[in-house]
Structure formats: C-alpha cells, structure tokens
Chains A and B, each alone.
Chain A
C-alpha cells in the first residue's frame, strides 16, 4: 500500500474514531415525564438537547398532540422561556394556541414567545436559530400537513443544533405521516376518552393515548397518559375511576332484583 493511501486510511480511521467518541461522550440529560412505564422505556425520561417528533394523524387530533407537546415542553423547560414557531395558515386549520388554555394546563404564558413564520423555510431557519440560543428551555415547531422539506437533512440540522446548545426541539406534525428522520423519539398521539365518572365529578383533564413509535435508545410502547395541570407532570390513568363515595345500602338492594329479572 502506498504512503498516500495509508495516509488517507489513517485520516478516515481518525475521523470515525472522533465521531464515535462524540456520540459516546454525548450523554443526554433526561427529564422524567411522570408516567412510570414510559419513563422506564425511555431509560429515565425524555432526553433534552435532542429532537423529538410528535405526530397527530389527522387535523382533529391536533389539540391532543398540542397538549402532549405542551406537556413535554413544560417538563423539559424548567421555567426557562419557550419559543413556539408555526406557519401562518395553521391558525385557520386548527385554531391558534390559546394563552388561557396554556395557563389552564399549568404552563405560564409569560414564558412563551410565538413566531408566525410566513413559510416552512423561514420556520425551519428560525427553529435552527432558536436552538442555538442556550437561554431557551425548548423550541416547538408546528408543521402542518405533508411536506418534502422536512427531510433527513433538515432534521439532522435541528438535531445538531439541539445537541450543541442542549435546548430541546419538539416538532409537532399535524396531518402527516412519519418519515425517516434523526429524531430521538417519535410519538403518535391521539385523544383518549375521559374515564366514566359520576355526573358530579370533574371530567375533561387531558387524557392522551400516546404511542412511542420510535426510540433510538430503547423499546417502544403505547400508554394512556394523563396530564396533571396542578403537578405539571404526566401520570398513569387513575386505576379506579369509580366514585369514591359509597353508594347507599338500600340502593344496592333495589338494583339487585332488577338485574336478575333482566
């Protein structure tokens, strides 16, 4: 083998070694979601300084996916400011992000800066810029519909920017199908019906059917998650959704014979 070829080989070997070292040394900080099974699968929680994708398969699931993204953001942000980047027209499709709604979920609207990008190119550029700013707690990018522009190159750019600064990137895709990307995790989120409760009990807390369809460093899974606005974390669905108050004894008596006769 000639000297020049040896040289090239050595250089390439060195490069690979450096790449691998960078990957190994890059130890992701993780934030627990609060849902024990999901945290176990995620090896401790959601990795910060990485790209996470959240999909809503249809427009009507947009609110559920938005709620999930807001929950993730609240977990990773740790009271630092957030940036929400969206396209202009998305507001007409599924409504604008409501600040009172955010406050009801336990997030502080004071910490949110909303960017209305004229098109996807600007949105991606803005997201990459924002990810470079380490003062942020998270960058949320909402992309509506199918697009060619969010390919491997674009997602690699976001991933690198997120790794560099340690800011978490949350990509919300509504009415889109998953494509190959460099995301750390990918979720498909649907809404889940509220548990059956007595009429006087409160219902309607965000209850989501979150399916982890891709996880770079572990298993996948599917869970029903509830967002607890007061504790600002996810949780398992309540085991027994029946009313806690015991039913009066004579009522149970009355119900018994009727069931028999049916």
Chain B
C-alpha cells in the first residue's frame, strides 16, 4: 500500500481495509500542538504544513548535549506518543526538509549540503507533481542531475520559485523560517525530574521563576509589559497563560501576584494531568525602566498604585473589561466617548481634552445613554414640534416641559454614517423624570411622502436619561 493509491485498488489488495475520511483541521490542530510542545527546545518554531515543523536550533544545541542528542530526544519523545517521525538537521530549513523527505536522522555539517542532497530523487524537493514529472521526463532523476544543468534553463522551464528552492536545498541560498510566535525578550524555565502537580509547588516554582526573570531583566535595567507562563505537561499538552500590564514590571512579587490572580480566575482551571515536567516564564514587550523618585512625589506614587490595581483587575477579568474613555471629535452622541483598555491608555487620559461645559447652563447631555436608542410612541402637538405625550417601556409619560430641537446631522462622510438627521428634545414629565429623545428624520427633506396615501410619520427614540 502506498500514499496516493486509489481506495478501490487498496481494497482489492486488502479486503478488510478500514477507511477513514481525512480530517484536515484535526491534522492542523495536532501539528499546532506538537509545535507548542517543541517550544521547549527553541522559541523559534515554524509550521511547514501539512505535516512538517521547522525548528531554528541556533544557539540552543549546547543546552541539550549536542545536535545528535537533541534530535534523538525530540524523535524519542514524539515516537513515544505514537507519531512517526523523520528528522534532519542542516544549515537551512529547506535543505533539512529535502533530506528528511527521504531519509531519517541525517545531520549535515555546514558546507556539505550539496553533497548530501545530490543523490536524492527530485521528488524530495517537494515541488508540485507537474514539476517532478517534468524533471523525470527530461531525464533528471536526482537533485544532483538538476543541479548540474544551467539555472537559466531550469528557471525557463519550471519557474523561478523552483530554482530558489533548489538553491536553498543545495545550501547556496539562505532559507529563513517564519516562526509562529514573536520570540520573547527574556526566558527562564525550570525542568522537573519528577513531574509536579500540586498547586503549592506550581505556585512556588512560578515565584522562583519570577525572581530569576526579574534578576535577568534588572541586569539590563528593563521591565516587561507582557508575561507568559507556559506549562508543559508530561503528556505533551502545553498550556500558555499570558498576563499584560500597563507599566513595565520589575518586581517579582508583582509578577507572582498577577499570575495568582489570573490562575484563580481561569474559567477552565490549569489541569496538571499527570504533572508538569517543565514550566517556563517568558517576558515580552520589555522596556527600559526609568527610575522615578517615588517617596516624595505623591502623584507618581498614586499613578503607580492605580496602574498596579488596573493590572490586577485586568489579570482577573480581562483587559478589555477595564476601560478609560477618550473624547472623540464628533457631534453624534453615541460616538462621543471612545472606550479603550485602561492598561495601555491611562497616560493618554491625563492629556485628553473633554469639551468644556457652559457655565450656568443645565446639563445638555444625559448622564445615562442607551447604546441602542429605544423606539417610543409619541404624540406631538404639531408635526415637527416637541412631544406632548410618549410611551416608553409600556409606561405613558405626559410631557410638562420640553426644550429643543437640537438638530444633529449624521456623518455622511463615514461608511457607517448613513443615518437620518435627528432632532433632539430635552423633556421632563409630570413626575420630574428628565429624558432625552429624538425624532429620526426631517419631515419634508428626508422622509419621502407618497403622492396619495397616509402621511409617513417619523419614528421617535429614547436616547438617554438625565439625573
């Protein structure tokens, strides 16, 4: 049996064959999780779909006792999980991939790529079927044969992309990989001979990792604004928990506390299974920390306290739920304030300029504003006059006072600004409740009246409540 064989053929050979449909998304997910697991060897892991992974092990090899041992441990662990592995190490990713399509376990020293790949069949280059077939028809069976021809001939026949892959496989060109994640600025990790599973041990390990991380950052006077804890389970699953902060963190106790808050609040708690055999703490978005005089200037101290509090709340319930508002230069009431995550915009609020109120005027904007204005039934004295009575949420209100209209036109120059002009009224009912309502559309200009038939009435909406 072989890859690409028709099912009928295979059934003829083996009548008891059990056929399963290919589940490409599950395959991709598996590849992702293997890539997560490979993070323990190097932060630079790239996917090579459908079934390959490239690991940039530059500078990581000595940690695992040399290339041979590193490859051995990767292959052993993956084989133990029931996967079939073929691996190769070479100076670039394309060369290694070319090798491991044919043979397993080759390690090619620098400068010997051409010799290593030249004996391999052209199919190892991973080109499309048409290219492989074309090469074979031209009598070029091995990569060495193809390399011996002029590159311009190959390009003319098979395209520049193929020539580039050929050059990379021969080690003549560099083949950078595209890592899945941005490598963090600082990494510290802890491996455990005996997997750990209890909360106290996990917390203690995180604390000591935090101390190590802070020490590493302190040498360069830096603090991190993004922290990631990766928990590597013995069965290969990896759980990544990230915490963002508004100010660069330089204190191990703060990191410790943030992670405690985050771990407590997880909707699906950390499941150690049979235990974690490695925990890693990585710091990203690191910044140089400017030391400030803290004891004398109360303002600096207050700001520090506030941003630390916001970080803690954000760690527990999510950064998007803690917001500050920035003013937007617009007349449309629902767009006047822009909510932004407080963690990253706290500094911007102090310089924000909100429109000043007019002295001596009562509030002209409601204190509570409905994100979605609610339709109401209105009886108005004259067609474009203020409302006399209205029904909102099944309760009737008689208008005692009304002021308006304040006419607000929609922003037609924006893609989502195609609305009708609104005439806002400030009204007060017989109980003293104060409302902000509007009539949607101008009578003669925006609402088309039919030639003969009933008059089209504009709709009214409740938009806000005054204190």
The smallest beta-carbon distance between A58 and chain B, in angstroms, is 10
Residues facing A in B429-467 (CB within 8 A) are 430-434, 464-467
Any chain B CB within 8 A of the CB of A126? Answer: yes
Within 8 A of B (CB), among A169-187: none
Q: What number of A-B contacts does a CB cutoff of 8 Å give? A: 199
Shortest distance in angstroms between A97's beta carbon and chain B's nearest beta carbon?
6
In angstroms, how far is the closest chain A Cβ from the Cβ of B363? 4
User: Could you tell me if B363 and A206 are in contact, using CB atoms closer than 8 angstroms?
Assistant: yes
CB-CB under 8 A from B317, the residues of chain A are 115, 117-118, 122, 126
Q: A70 interface residue, CB < 8 Å from B?
A: yes
**B338's closest neighbor in chain A, by CB?**
A99
- A96 and B322 within 8 A (CB): no
Query: Residues of B contacting A122 with CB < 8 Å?
Result: 265, 316-317
Q: How far does the alpha carbon of A64 sit from the alpha carbon of B467 in the complex, in Å?
A: 4
Q: Which residue of B306, B342, B368, B433 has the most chain A CB atoms within 10 A of its CB atom?
A: B368
- Once the chains are docked, how many angstroms separate the CA of A192 from the CA of B466? 12
Q: Are B302 and A135 in contact (CB under 8 A)?
A: yes
A116 beta carbon closer than 8 Å to chain B: yes
Contact A67 B467 (CB under 8 A): yes
Is A63 a contact partner of B368 (Cβ separation < 8 A)? yes
**Chain A residues whose CB sits within 8 angstroms of the CB of B271 once the complex forms:** none
Q: Using a CB-CB cutoff of 8 Å, which residues 82-124 of chain A contact chain B?
A: 91-92, 94-106, 108-118, 122
A235 within 8 A of B: no
A106–B357 touching, CB < 8 Å: yes
What is the minimal beta-carbon distance from A117 to any residue of chain B, in angstroms?
A: 6
Find out whether the CB atom of B360 lies under 8 angstroms from the CB atom of A100. Answer: no
Which residues does chain A contribute within 8 Å of B303, judged by CB atoms? 135
Which residues from chain B contact A12 at a C-beta distance below 8 Å? Answer: none
State in angstroms the CA–CA spacing of A70 and B367 once bound together: 10
Proximity string of chain B (338-380) to chain A, C-beta cutoff 8 Å, 1 when within and 0 when not:
0100100010011010111101111111111111000000000
Which of chain B's residues has its CB closest to A116's CB? B321
B367–A108 touching, CB < 8 Å: no
State the Cβ distance, A148 to closest chain B Cβ, in Å.
21
Q: How far is the CA of A101 from the CA of B336 in the complex (A)?
A: 11
Q: Could you tell me which residues of chain B, from 379 to 399, have a CB within 8 Å of some CB in chain A? A: 395
Contacts of A114 in B (CB 8 A): 322-325, 339
Verify if B287 is at the interface (C-beta below 8 Å from A). Answer: no
Contacts of B360 in A (CB 8 A): 202, 230
Please tell me if A125 contacts chain B, counting CB pairs below 8 Å.
yes
Known A-B contacts A100-B365, A104-B365; the reply to A126 vs B355 at CB < 8 A is: no
The total of chain B residues at the interface (CB under 8 A) is 61
B366 touches A63 (CB 8 A): yes
Contacting residues, chain A, for B432 (C-beta < 8 A) = 190-194, 207
Q: Are A104 and B357 in contact (CB under 8 A)?
A: yes
Chain A CB within 8 A of B403 CB: yes
Whether B368 and A203, one on each chain, are in contact in the complex, defined by CB atoms closer than 8 angstroms, is: no
- Contact in complex: A191, B431 (CB < 8 Å): yes
B317-342 CB contacts (< 8 Å) to partner A: 317, 321-325, 327, 333, 336-337, 339, 342
Chain B residues with CB below 8 A from A202, complex form: 360-362
Scan residues 120-140 of chain A and give those whose CB is less than 8 A from a CB of chain B.
122, 125-126, 129-130, 133-136
In the complex with contacts A95-B371, A98-B369, A134-B305, A129-B325 CB distance below 8 A: no
The answer to whether B322 and A113 have CB atoms under 8 Å apart is yes
A221 sits at the interface (CB 8 A): no
Asked if A60 is at the interface (CB within 8 A of a chain B CB), the reply is: yes
| A98-B368 CB under 8 A given contacts A129-B312, A205-B363, A230-B359 | yes
Contact call B464/A98, Cβ cutoff below 8 A: yes
Contact check, B342 vs A101: say whether CB atoms are below 8 A apart: no
A93 to chain B minimum Cβ distance, whole angstroms, is: 10
Does A98 contact B366, Cβ atoms closer than 8 Å?
yes
Q: Does A18 contact B (CB under 8 A)?
A: no
Provide the bound-state CA to CA distance between A64 and B368, in Å. 10
Of all chain A residues, which has the CB nearest B322? A115
Q: Is B313 an interface residue (CB 8 A)?
A: yes
Given contacts A97-B367, A98-B464, 16 further A-B contacts (CB under 8 A): A62-B368, A64-B467, A98-B333, A98-B336, A98-B365, A99-B337, A108-B354, A113-B323, A114-B322, A115-B323, A122-B316, A129-B312, A133-B306, A133-B308, A202-B360, A205-B363
Q: Which residues of A contact B (CB under 8 A)?
A: 60-64, 66-68, 70, 80-81, 91-92, 94-106, 108-118, 122, 125-126, 129-130, 133-136, 190-194, 202-208, 227, 229-230
List, sorted by A's number, 29 A–B pairs whose CB atoms are closer than 8 Å: A60-B433, A63-B467, A66-B368, A67-B367, A91-B371, A95-B366, A95-B368, A96-B369, A97-B368, A98-B336, A100-B336, A101-B367, A104-B367, A109-B337, A109-B352, A110-B354, A113-B322, A113-B342, A115-B321, A129-B312, A133-B309, A134-B305, A136-B309, A193-B430, A194-B432, A203-B362, A205-B362, A205-B363, A206-B467
Q: 3 closest A-B pairs (Cβ-Cβ)?
A: A67-B467, A193-B432, A63-B465
Binding site for A on B (CB under 8 A): 265, 301-306, 308-310, 312-313, 316-317, 321-325, 327, 333, 336-337, 339, 342, 346, 349-350, 352, 354-357, 359-371, 395, 400-401, 403, 426, 428, 430-434, 464-467
